[in-house]
Every structure is written in C-alpha cells, then in structure tokens.
C-alpha cells in the first residue's frame, strides 16, 4: 500500500505511557498512518513534543512530534479508526462518545472489556468473537464500534493456553511475575520494588480470572459463553523492566500426552498468521527447549515483542501439565495487541 493509501488513525491518550507505545509501534506501519493524537485538556493545543515527556528508548518519532494534540472529542477531524490508551478514569464515556459518532475504537483500557457485547480479542485465539460487533451495533444504536484487548498478563496466559483449548481446559492455576513497566510511569516506587517482590497488584487477579474465561470461551449467535473452567491467579510485581512471566498449571479433559501438548503449542497458528498481517509474529507461541528459558531479559524483545514464549512444559502432580510463559507486557500486552486487533478487523472488512 502506498503512503497515499494508508489509513489515517488516531490515538486517544497519546501522551501517556501506553500512548507512547502506540506512537512507537505505529511509526513505520505499512497500513495505518498516525495523523491525530488526543489527550486531556492539559495537553490539547500543544505540539506533541511539548506535551509529552518521552519515556521510551530512542527518540520520539519526528512526524508525531510535530502534531498538535487534540481534545479527545469525536470531531469531524478525528480519524474513523482510533486506538485508545486513555486513563481508565475517563475512558468509559469518551470511548462511547467516539463509537456513537461512528468511530471504531480499538481500546487497550479496561473499561469496556467485560461488557456483554464487546469483543475482548486475542486475534490468534478468539477471532470469531468479532462476530459480536453486529449485535453491538444493533444493541447500542452506534454508528461505530468498540473492540478491546485484554490486560497485559492475561494476554500471555491466553496465548499460551490457546493451543490447548481443543483438549478441553478444565482448571487453570497461574502465578505471575509482572514487570514494573506494567504499572505505567512512575509506577511502583523504587524503594518498594528494588531487590524485592510485591505480592499484590490491585484488581489484577480478578481481571486475569474473568478475562481468561471470556477470551477462551465461545461466541455463538450474538452471545459469549465463558469457558467453564475455574481459574485461580496469583499476581506479583517483580524487579524486571519489561516482560511478564506466568507460571501455569492446567487440567485438560482430553488427557493428552505431553508430546501432544507440545505439538499443539508448536503447530499453533491463527488468522493473523494465515493472512500475514503486518504485526503478526510468524509463530505466535514459540516453544523453547532449554531448561532455563524463557527469560524476560533474553527473550522479551524477540519477534518485535509480539510472540509469547513458552518453556518447561512438564507433568503437574496436582493438575495435568505445568509450564512457563513470557509475553512483552507493553507490546503484545498493550499497543501491539490493539494494532493487531485493528489489522484483523481490516482483514475481516470490519473497518
């Protein structure tokens, strides 16, 4: 697609931590052209470079630096496709206003994730959940639509378990080791996290449990049905910069062999791979055979941060199998996830 044909897109909350990840992720995108940035009225009217303290590695993309920050209002100048990285305290109303006015909102915020007619999408795992958008439009009377991506730790878990869905997932116990970048900026005080582990992340366990059931559940005829599996999550903050590790134990109805489980992981592909979507990793879940991998520092940036790495698959004496998984929390767990969601929607003719 030539520069002229690229689709203009905007970012709501572009000045924040996740917003900056959107700006970075979109800078060389072959289809989406970031032409519009929105933030609070504290930033509106300023150039993006004046309104934003750039906190990512490298320099702020030059083209975005020169954009004037807009108020997050669905004016005629706002692109039809907007990614949302807004503060959760304001996202509900603003995202709804954009959808009402005919915009597609692809959101990373938690606000609409668990609503009964809003897809909570992981493109390789539950692409069929996009079928709900017709119902959403009918229910709400919106000209536009809202699609969400999960919480950063839930993405790593559901990507790792996606290949096992066909075996009938009955029980999941997951313990996370979550990076400090997941808490935004300035995040967890250094006095709390240096050489320490904090065994509490507000609302994270509840989100992981309910979002996992929705994502791994079914969509049929305008209705989501949760996965009928019990999910228990323990969430911990650890002194790692990027990359959430999740230790998973799972019980499977079909009682596959360990070789069958590993083969399912290694052969797992989804629509993003079949359609060669620009942000899709060639292999969404990569199995590592070394005893001591995956590791955040060594593996998290591979595959542009878009794959989930799994290792140490072994028998579990309590449930059936246990394994480790690693996902990049701000890329696959936030901005990259939302951009891949939009690419899938485009390929489905939904934009």
User: What residues are labeled active site?
Assistant: 152, 244
- Give the start-end residues of each E strand in 150-263: 169-177, 218-220, 223-225, 230-234, 244-252
Q: Which residues bind ligand NAP (CB under 6 A)?
A: 13-19, 39-40, 42-43, 72, 85-88, 90-91, 108-110, 152, 181-182, 184-185, 329-330, 334
* HSE-up (13 A, CA, CB side) for residue 181: 22
Q: How far apart, in Å, are the Cα atoms of 142 and each of 104, 148, 168?
A: 10, 16, 36
What is the 3-state secondary structure of 32-77? EEEEEEEECCCCCCCEHHHHCCCCCCCCCCHHHHCCECEECCCCCC
Min separation Cβ 53 and ligand NAP, Å: 9
Q: Which residue is nearest to ligand NAP (CB)?
A: 16
What is the Cα–Cα distance from 72 to 273, expressed in whole angstroms? Answer: 33
Cβ closest to ligand NAP, residue 54 vs residue 273: 54
Q: Residue 327 region, left (φ>0) first, then alpha (ψ -120 to 50), else beta?
A: beta
Question: 259 Cβ partners below 8 Å, 6+ apart?
Answer: none
Quote the least distance from Cβ 79 to ligand NAP, whole Å: 16
CA 40 – CA 29 distance, rounded (Å) = 25
Nearer to ligand NAP, 231 or 335 (CB): 335
Contact 157, 246 (CB under 8 A): yes
**Cβ distance to ligand NAP smaller for residue 51 or 345:** 51
C-beta of 256 vs 333, nearer to ligand NAP: 333
Decide whether 108 or 347 has the Cβ nearer to ligand NAP. 108
Beta strands in the chain (DSSP E): 7-12, 32-39, 70-71, 81-84, 104-107, 145-148, 169-177, 218-220, 223-225, 230-234, 244-252, 285-288, 308-315, 321-327
Task: Please state the closest distance from residue 56 (CB atom) to ligand NAP, in A.
Answer: 11
**Shortest CB 284 distance to ligand NAP, Å:** 19
Q: Let me know: does 303 contact 272? Beta carbons within 8 Å.
A: no
Question: In angstroms, what is the minimal distance from the CB of 315 to ligand NAP?
Answer: 33
User: CB-wise, 297 or 314, nearer to ligand NAP?
Assistant: 297
Q: How far is CA 202 from CA 21, 199, 225, 234, 235, in A?
A: 23, 10, 26, 11, 9
State the nearest-atom distance from the C-beta of 101 to ligand NAP, in Å. 15
């Amino acid at each position: 697609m030539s520069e002229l044909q690229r689709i203009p897109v905007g970012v709501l909350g572009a000045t924040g931590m996740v917003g900056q990840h959107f700006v970075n992720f979109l800078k060389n995108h072959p289809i989406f052209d970031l032409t519009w940035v929105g933030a609070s009225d504290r930033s509106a009217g300023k150039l993006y470079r004046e309104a934003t303290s750039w906190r990512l590695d490298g320099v702020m993309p030059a083209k975005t630096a020169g954009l004037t920050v807009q108020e997050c209002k669905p004016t005629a100048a706002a692109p039809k496709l907007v990614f949302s990285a807004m503060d959760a305290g304001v996202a509900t109303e603003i995202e709804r206003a954009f959808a009402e006015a005919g915009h597609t909102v692809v959101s990373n915020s938690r606000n609409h994730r668990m609503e009964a007619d809003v897809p909570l999408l992981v493109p390789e795992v539950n692409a069929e959940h996009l079928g709900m958008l017709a119902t959403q439009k009918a229910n709400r009377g919106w000209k536009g639509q809202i699609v969400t991506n999960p919480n950063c730790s839930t993405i790593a878990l559901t990507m790792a378990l996606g290949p096992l869905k066909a075996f009938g997932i009955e029980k999941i116990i997951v313990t996370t080791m979550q990076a400090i970048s997941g808490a935004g900026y300035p995040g967890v005080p250094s006095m709390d996290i240096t050489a320490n582990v904090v065994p509490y992340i507000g609302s994270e366990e509840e989100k992981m449990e309910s979002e996992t059931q929705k994502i791994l559940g079914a969509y049929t005829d305008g209705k989501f049905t949760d996965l009928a599996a019990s999910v228990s999550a323990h969430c911990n903050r650890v002194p790692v910069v990027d990359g959430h590790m999740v230790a998973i134990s799972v019980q499977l109805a079909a009682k596959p062999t360990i070789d069958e489980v590993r083969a399912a992981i290694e052969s797992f592909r989804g629509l993003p791979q079949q359609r060669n979507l620009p942000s899709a990793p060639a292999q969404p879940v990569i199995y590592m055979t070394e005893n001591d991998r995956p590791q955040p520092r060594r593996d998290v940036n591979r595959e542009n941060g878009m794959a989930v790495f799994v290792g140490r698959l072994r028998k579990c004496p309590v449930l059936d199998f246990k394994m480790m998984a690693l996902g990049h929390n701000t890329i696959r767990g936030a901005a990259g996830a939302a951009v891949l969601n939009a690419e899938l929607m485009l390929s489905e003719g939904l934009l």
